[in-house]
């Protein structure tokens, strides 16, 4: 009987039977975008498994984790940010344990090079950010070829070999003994459909025991009651609920003025909050905009402004915007669209080029001519001004030149990546090749950037 199993659906109710059947570790899923809630481990299930004496292992797999197109650096960043915060805040996963990231298809050498490795670079970049959350070990799940490539690149410390023996590199990687886990064929244990797994000899697989002290603040007595006194949102235009403790995390929703929330824990100036009163974290808000109140019904507050609604909606599309501005295909499509819309392109075509990129990412802006005009369009949609030196990927740089000659010195562009507070890789209309290029926020011979805009 296998002592380690991985399960893709809720199994907490079978915890005692699993333990009695010889299971000692259950590997369960985090998933940022699954449409099947039973796939994602909940705190209640984690506590059921822990109460039966079972250890937990964790793998994150996206909704389209079996498709090569789902893998790139921006998605790796988003998945890692989600998994780290969900593990730390909702589950109470301790530091030093592992989160495996699933690559559930037989990736070709080109897909490994162009898709999988950039995805794991995004995971590494996200885990390197000091958020005040625990540090986790990165693991990779996939074919032998995938596991070998990610380990060789130094982007994972643990490898979990998928059960499909026909996938590339399976036999060679199995014989290498570099794997921490080897997945077996589907089985049923104690009425639970699962995959039995074997740990490598003398391998730490990164599983953990969920101790009560590690569980985030939650029910003091009985199920579903948050122990913390409620607090009220005290921000006139509403308060953004984010996936993690920082403005670099995606916005989940806008909490109107007066909304009651239950604080769970603080990470720097950010507070993890529970919206339902059941002890489960729904996200993070800036603690500066919460005020103490006596428990009781809160006012609904004013409806969020149209600009705030636009900015939240736009923020969801920023990873795709970065993808469009990073790829030759995305830049080529934007150039062709801008050229068709603007006579004389690329002259004075920066706004048209960026308009096309925004549209390709799913951000609903009209084709706009003029850097200043497009900057106003984004500001009217609720994009927030960001100071020079604070820019990140996905921001829009805005330049103004008070000298009327030469014409077209005003400029607007997309930040694709940054290398410190000044140097960036950007996407704009100023290259004949469809590739990002270097620009400095302070100018270095070009018009200095006045400010950046960000969808928050």
Q: What is the pLDDT of residues 263-307, one digit of tens each?
A: 887 666 678 888 877 677 788 888 878 887 644 344 444 444 455
Q: Report residue 198's pLDDT band, with 50, 70 and 90 as the boundaries.
A: very high
Q: Check for a shared fold between 217-304 and 307-454.
A: no
- Hunting for tokens 């096309």 — which residue is that? 356
The answer for 31, left when phi > 0, alpha when psi is -120 to 50, beta otherwise, is beta
- CATH among 3.20.20.120, 3.30.360.10, 2.30.30.40, 3.40.50.1820 for 217-304: 2.30.30.40
For the ranges 198-207, 225-234, 293-302, 316-325, the lowest mean pLDDT is seen at: 293-302
In the chain, what are the domain boundaries? 4-213, 217-304, 307-454
3 state DSSP class of 224: coil
Neighbours of 264 (CB within 10 A): 22
Over range 344-355, report the average pLDDT: 91
**What pLDDT shows up at residue 315?**
75
307-454 in CATH: which number?
Answer: 3.90.1720.10
Side-chain-facing half-sphere of 269: CA atoms under 13 Å: 5
- How far is it, in rounded angstroms, from Cα 289 to Cα 278? 22
**What pLDDT shows up at residue 395?**
92
Return the beta strands (E) in 35-123 as ranges.
55-60, 98-102
Contact 322, 393 (CB under 8 A): yes
122, pLDDT greater than 50: yes
Contact 439, 399 (CB under 8 A): no
CATH class of 4-213: alpha beta
Helices (H), 342-384: 350-360, 371-380
For the ranges 141-145, 218-222, 244-248, 260-264, the lowest mean pLDDT is seen at: 218-222
Over range 75-93, report the average pLDDT: 91
User: Which residues have CB under 8 Å from 202's CB, separation 6+?
Assistant: none
- How far is it, in rounded angstroms, from Cα 373 to Cα 400? 12
Specify the pTM: 0.53
105, pLDDT greater than 90: yes
- How far is it, in rounded angstroms, from Cα 58 to Cα 354? 40
pLDDT tens digits along 27-56: 999 998 888 888 999 988 999 999 899 999
- How far is it, in rounded angstroms, from Cα 290 to Cα 45? 30
Contact 304, 258 (CB under 8 A): no
Helices (H), 115-162: 117-128, 144-152
């Amino acid at each position: 009987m296998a002592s380690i199993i991985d399960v893709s659906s809720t199994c907490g109710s079978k915890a005692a039977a699993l333990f009695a059947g010889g299971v000692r570790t259950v590997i369960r899923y985090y998933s940022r975008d699954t449409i099947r809630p039973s796939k994602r481990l909940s705190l209640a299930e984690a506590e059921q498994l822990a109460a039966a004496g079972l250890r937990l292992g964790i793998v994150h797999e996206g909704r389209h984790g079996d498709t090569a197109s789902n893998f790139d650096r921006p998605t790796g960043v988003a998945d890692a940010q989600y998994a780290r915060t969900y593990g730390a805040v909702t589950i109470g996963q301790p530091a030093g344990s592992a989160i495996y990231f699933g690559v559930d298809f037989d990736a070709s050498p080109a897909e490994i090079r162009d898709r999988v490795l950039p995805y794991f670079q995004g995971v590494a970049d996200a885990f390197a950010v000091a958020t005040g959350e625990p540090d986790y070990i990165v693991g990779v799940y996939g074919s032998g070829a995938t596991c070998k490539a990610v380990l060789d690149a130094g982007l994972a410390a643990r490898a979990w070999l998928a059960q499909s023996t026909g996938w590339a590199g399976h036999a060679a990687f199995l014989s290498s003994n570099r794997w921490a886990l080897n997945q077996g064929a589907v089985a049923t244990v104690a009425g639970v459909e699962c995959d039995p797994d074997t740990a490598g000899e003398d391998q730490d697989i990164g599983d953990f025991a969920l101790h009560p002290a590690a569980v985030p603040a939650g029910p003091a007595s009985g199920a579903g009651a948050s122990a913390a006194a409620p607090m009220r949102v005290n921000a006139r235009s509403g308060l953004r609920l984010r996936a993690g403790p920082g403005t670099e995390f995606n916005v989940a929703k806008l909490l109107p003025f007066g909304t009651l929330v239950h604080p769970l824990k603080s990470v720097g100036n950010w507070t993890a909050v529970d919206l339902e009163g059941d002890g489960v974290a729904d996200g993070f808000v800036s603690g500066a905009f919460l005020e103490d109140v006596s428990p009781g019904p809160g006012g609904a507050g004013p409806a969020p402004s149209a600009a705030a609604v636009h900015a939240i909606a736009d923020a969801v599309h920023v990873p795709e915007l970065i993808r469009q501005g990073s790829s030759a295909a995305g830049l080529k499509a934007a150039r062709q669209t801008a050229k068709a819309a603007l006579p004389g392109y690329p002259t004075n075509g920066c706004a048209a080029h960026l308009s096309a990129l925004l549209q390709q990412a799913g951000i609903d802006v009209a084709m706009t001519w003029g850097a200043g005009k497009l900057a106003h369009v984004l500001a009217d949609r609720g994009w927030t001004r960001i100071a020079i030196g604070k820019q990140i990927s996905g921001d829009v740089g805005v330049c103004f030149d008070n000298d009327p000659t030469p014409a077209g010195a005003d400029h607007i562009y997309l930040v694709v990546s940054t290398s410190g507070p000044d140097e960036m890789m950007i996407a704009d209309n100023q290259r004949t090749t469809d590739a990002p290029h270097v620009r400095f926020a302070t100018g270095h011979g070009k018009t200095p950037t006045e400010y950046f805009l960000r969808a928050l």
